[in-house]
Amino acid sequence: EYPEEKEVLCDLNACFTIESIEQNESIQLINMNVSNEGQIITKDYIELTQKETEEKSVSIVFGRLMCNLGYYDKSLKYFQQLLNDPNDEDLAWIEYSIGRALHFKGELQEAREYYNRAYDRMMMNNPARIKDSAPVLNNIGLVLHKQRQYNEALDYHQRALKMKEKYYSCGHVGIATSLNNIGLILYDQGKYDEALGYHQQSLKMRKKYYPSDHVDIATSLNNIGNILRQQGKYDEAVDYYQRTLTIYEKFHLVDNLSRITTERNIRELTGKNELVKL
């Protein structure tokens, strides 16, 4: 079923209350209110989400929002119901969204199957939906990366990047995402200089697109810090980790894994620097 009425959906960027859900023959009416707490942050979150998902319907955006907030099972069930009764919704995006929910749940093989279905449906369209297929290729690349199939994953991310550079506006955050993902694969392959270049490009784009304290900027800063650490550039790495931590402290609780890991990295590298000075 759909989420219970009055259920609160919230993360550190947004907080919503579902007031009621009405089901008519042809539409679902979902009444949501922004909670008083963090309204400004929530407004920014919604505006950014609308920019990133401008081609998707309200039904698709709502289901993806549930997934983004950690309600993977509810998002999955929501999209499965939508697939059974699409009401003219885009079947390819529904299949992609099912794959995405499965992906978040760690069910990689099942996610890949739905991504493939979405991609095939887009390619069978006349004309083929090349632009729309870029996020699908990106997520297939993420699955392959998780499965340690680095070369194949890199191929998918490069294909996605090529499409985004052709069809997206210059500096679009989707391009930054692909650059970041390619950098992560190169890092895992030990190609640190190449990886650094991709992450620096991604960070530059994200700084132009997002507020200065957005968590995706923290992710880029952290990724660069990881590379500098592997290269033995401990002072520079600590600087990037410190900048990462400054953002994490605004949005993550003290027991958040990303925050804990960053704090540990700073302590470890500070110790290494002291030994070098001795």
When pLDDT is averaged across residues 46-61 and rounded to a whole number, the result is 65
- Over the stretch 129-180, which tens digit does the pLDDT of each residue have? 999 999 999 999 999 999 999 999 999 999 999 999 999 988 899 999 999 9
Q: Which domain holds residue 278?
A: 211-278
- CATH label of the domain that carries residue 230: 1.25.40
Residue 257 inside a domain? The answer is yes
CA-to-CA separations, 219 to 19, 52, 65, 85, 258, in angstroms, rounded: 34, 18, 20, 38, 9
Distance CA 41, CA 102 (A): 28
123 in any annotated domain: no
What's the half-sphere exposure (Cβ side, CA atoms, 13 Å) at 207? Answer: 8
**What pTM did the predictor assign?**
0.80
Summarize pLDDT for 35-46 with one digit per residue, the tens: 554 455 545 555
Three-point CA angle 222, 37, 45, nearest 5°? 45
| Domain count for the chain | 1
Domain-embedded: residue 267: yes
Position 19 in a domain: no
Is position 241 within any domain? yes
236 in a structural domain: yes
In a domain, 262, yes or no: yes
* 145 located within any domain: no
